[in-house]
Structure 1
């Protein structure tokens, strides 16, 4: 295995491939993403440990969506059991994935904890769904500072875990090695990932503007709220579908290793 250095335009290609693959199996991939989100939501409601448990399962769930993308690429209909891919490869792989998840949960909770110290938990309660944000609250300097502190800490954490689940599962890397190779791949291909993020941001803006415009033309502004949520969920499904292509193109594997 070696790192590939890809051009910036690869970011656009990854978005395109993600959308094209999604529309090969839209019902399956959208359904799997909804199941993934529902499962994470239910798990997060477990008293005391729910959020930590959900964050621990997130890398495995992300791998499940990548495995579903592979099946869609091959023309197969991905079944719900594909979300359990991380836990169907033997005891050693399961332990490695759970360790990876525990490391992510620890990093997430530390980032959230630091933000808590900045504004006494106001941002954390909003982010975790325990409070409803108000305009006055969001304009508070401490709230904004806590938000940027969390973003600043969570961004490198996300890059460390971007490719880690796939590297652990498909290529047998240890959790620590997978974190290292993941953040190196993201750093060395910074411009491709920057374009990837900007393209998805542009898609998000397009979706929001299109939905609100349609609702306005129909003379029913309240319709925007009803349409926007499912539209954003579909867009998020496409985003998770595109993650596989960022992984596939960022590493060069031998024929025996290739995912």
Structure 2
């Protein structure tokens, strides 16, 4: 992988918008389908939360496959959410899911240094988040710490799932190349992150200027935030293609004309 110039980060952002415009409904269906699944899993105490971490690489593979389909003018349907489970690389994806789970557990465990274990008790539903004990603790900073730590980890591993699925790499090798690829592209990735932060802040301020601090502002801000989050995920496909090459999507086999 060659060293990349910083301005490529902005090109990734623009390509993300272009890709989303090709099949907005299909890509949005993948995103919201995953959100719905994680919501259902969240209803199961502890086990559901752990499973949601293990499913992150499967969603990554599904969404990247959706982006590849959109890039090549192929349909993007909710059934793509099962791409990882149908992949010949399923065992390696399951191992990667364990890596995601371990990373999340480490981040949550480290948060006990901030709040004395209150976040863990809330996740185990031993304490309600709005209870006096929780309000008196450092639960808020612990949540921010955990969220930020997990975000960094998820970004560093973002390409490991697609590398397993498309290039048939073992889990360990895929993790290494994903992390190394992002480190190698530090400058453009910083531009990429700052650009999306700026877009997020600009949209929020613009909507606030139009609607003020009313309920309407919040009602519009949430769907807008979801839309540019989906577009940001599309940008990750652009990054993958730049770092590792565009995936080869197999053509759909058609039956011979004389076949019944």
Give yes or no for TM over 0.5.
Answer: yes
1:24 aligns with 2:22: yes
Distance 1:126 1:89 in 2: 36
- Give per-residue Cα distances to partners, 1:54-78, cap 9 Å, x unaligned: 0000111011111101111112220
The corresponding residue for 2:34 is 36
The Cα of 1:215 is off from its aligned counterpart by 1.0
The corresponding residue for 1:234 is 227
Contact 1:163 1:182 in 2 (8 A): yes
The corresponding residue for 1:99 is 95
Residue number among 246, 249, 253 corresponding to 2:242 in the alignment = 249
Distance 1:125 1:242 in 2: 36
Contact 2:38 2:52 in 1 (8 A): yes
The corresponding residue for 2:209 is 213
Please give the root-mean-square deviation of Cα atoms over the aligned residues, in Å: 2.9
The corresponding residue for 2:187 is 191
Secondary structure at 1:131 match in 2: coil
Q: CA 1:224 to 1:153, structure 2 compared with 1: closer, same or farther past 3 Å?
A: closer
Distance 2:27 2:165 in 1: 20
The corresponding residue for 2:252 is none
Q: CA 1:48 to 1:127, structure 2 compared with 1: closer, same or farther past 3 Å?
A: closer
The corresponding residue for 1:224 is 217
Q: CA 1:161 to 1:226, structure 2 compared with 1: closer, same or farther past 3 Å?
A: same
- Give per-residue Cα distances to partners, 1:29-83, cap 9 Å, x unaligned: 1122111111122122223311110000011101111110111111222011112
The corresponding residue for 2:170 is 174
Contact 1:59 1:97 in 2 (8 A): yes
- Give per-residue Cα distances to partners, 1:175-229, cap 9 Å, x unaligned: 011111111111111011111111110111112112212213xxx8220111111
The Cα of 1:152 is off from its aligned counterpart by 6.8
Contact 2:46 2:123 in 1 (8 A): no
Q: CA 1:230 to 1:166, structure 2 compared with 1: closer, same or farther past 3 Å?
A: same
Q: CA 1:65 to 1:132, structure 2 compared with 1: closer, same or farther past 3 Å?
A: farther
Count of paired positions: 246
Distance 1:247 1:124 in 2: 35
Distance 2:84 2:66 in 1: 12
Where do residues 124-163 of structure 1 align in structure 2 (5 Å cutoff)?
A: 131=129, 142=138, 146=142, 149-150=145-146, 153-154=149-150, 157-163=153-159
Distance 2:7 2:124 in 1: 35
